[in-house]
Amino acid sequence: MHDVHDAPAPRFRHAVVTGGAGFLGSHLCTALVDQGTAVTCVDDYCTGSPDNVAHLADRPGFRLIRADVTEAEAFDVPDPVAAPVDLVLHFASPASPADYLRLPLHTLETGSLGTRNALALARRHGARFLLASTSEAYGDPQQHPQSEAYWGNVNPVGPRSVYDEAKRFGEALTTAEAAAHGTDTGIVRLFNTYGPRMRGYDGRAVPTFIRQALAGEPLTVTGDGRQTRSLAYVDDTVRGILAMAASDLRGPVNIGNPDEITMLDLARKIIDLTGSRSTVRFIERPTDDPAVRCPDITLARGKLQWEPLIGADEGLARTVRWYRAHRAP
């Protein structure tokens, strides 16, 4: 039996996670706390919720602050993160089309002003900084699968541009910060991630399909359903993010699951997993919706020794179980 003092010291002592009360951010906070890292979670609740981190409220070193990272005073006097910080994870941003189309200016400001403020915090503390960028940086890609060297195919004035360009600007700002100030920065480009704590009405395919299937409603597939996505279970994505944080790579580095699935096949799979009698209903496909999306993870495999371990059947089954347990009566 090992003494508790035999446990390895955490890689980071104190992490600040912006957007930490969101879907992905809350899983990151949990993983860090489990590793023994003190965590300050900063969120304005525009799409996140304190309920997502309620299970951490009594854990040692965890603190939840309601603040808008686009405002300079979010990290200012009295400094809510005065204790030395050695990791800043900038994950604040509306991330689903339903949210960023509802909050277009806030999305752009979070990617610009919010990134600047989070970078300034990292610089002040000499901390490692990690930007959550996105596969949306590739737009509707003309290279398949997408490698980090691909510059993308983005409509800068299309409806999705508020998110795509906010993240692309965040990447440029993060890169410039490292060059100008020597700040230790990294960029991860996250592909579609799913799992427990996604909101049923957030507009993304997995929670939408599960919510509809459990309610016995038709599953609304856009277009002809032949467009593809590559879906990573949240535990795999979190492992990749933390591997990147612990490295000295600048990036960008793709973190995603290269197993592609069409939206129609995803709908059918969820109907099977839920045992639902739902049918499929085709609806209009959104403007600039990418036809394909699949990460080339050669870099993550080689430099981070990371790859996804949880297949779609297992990940979706876990997610369905969570939705069944958390459905409102």
The pLDDT tens digits for 150-168 are: 999 999 999 899 999 999 9
Which entry of 100, 163, 194, 233 is annotated as an active-site residue?
A: 163
How confident is residue 2, by pLDDT bands cut at 50, 70 and 90?
A: very low
d(CA 47, CA 243): 26
pLDDT digits (tens, 9 = 90+) for 57-110: 999 999 999 999 999 888 864 566 668 899 999 999 999 888 999 999 999 999
Q: State which H helix or E strand residue 43 sits in.
A: strand 38-43
In angstroms, how far is the first alpha carbon of the chain from the final one? Answer: 44
Q: Does the structure show a pLDDT above 80 at 7?
A: no
Give the model's confidence band at 8: pLDDT under 50 very low, under 70 low, under 90 confident, else very high. Answer: low
**pLDDT score for 3:** 44
- Is residue 163 part of the annotated active site? The answer reads yes
Q: What is the pLDDT of residue 78?
A: 54
48 closest CA partner among 108, 110, 112: 110
State the DSSP string of 257-312: ---EEEHHHHHHHHHHHHT----EEEEPPPTT--S---B--HHHHHHH-------H
Check: CB of residue 114 under 8 Å from CB of residue 93.
yes
pLDDT of residue 328: 58
pLDDT in tens, 116-127: 999 999 999 999
pLDDT per position as a tens digit, 256-314: 999 999 999 999 999 999 999 999 999 999 887 888 889 999 999 999 999 999 999 99
Residue-averaged pLDDT of the chain? 93
Q: Write down the pLDDT at residue 116.
A: 97
Q: Quote the pLDDT of residue 5.
A: 44
pLDDT given for residue 83 in this prediction: 80
The DSSP element (H or E) to which 125 belongs, if any, is helix 115-125
* CATH T-level topology, domain 14-195+232-258+292-310: Rossmann fold (3.40.50)
Tell me the average pLDDT across 140-152.
Answer: 94
Say what the pTM is: 0.94
Burial 283-297 (b: 16+ CB within 10 A, else e): eeeeebbbebbbbbb
Q: What confidence category does residue 9 fall into, taking pLDDT thresholds of 50, 70 and 90?
A: low
Interior angle at CA 257, CA 242 and CA 212, nearest 5: 105
Residues in Cβ contact with 37 at an 8 Å cutoff, skipping those fewer than 6 apart: 10, 11, 12, 13, 14, 15, 61, 87
Strands (DSSP E) contained in 44-179 are 62-66, 87-90, 128-134
pLDDT score of 82:
64
Residue ranges of the domains in the chain?
14-195+232-258+292-310
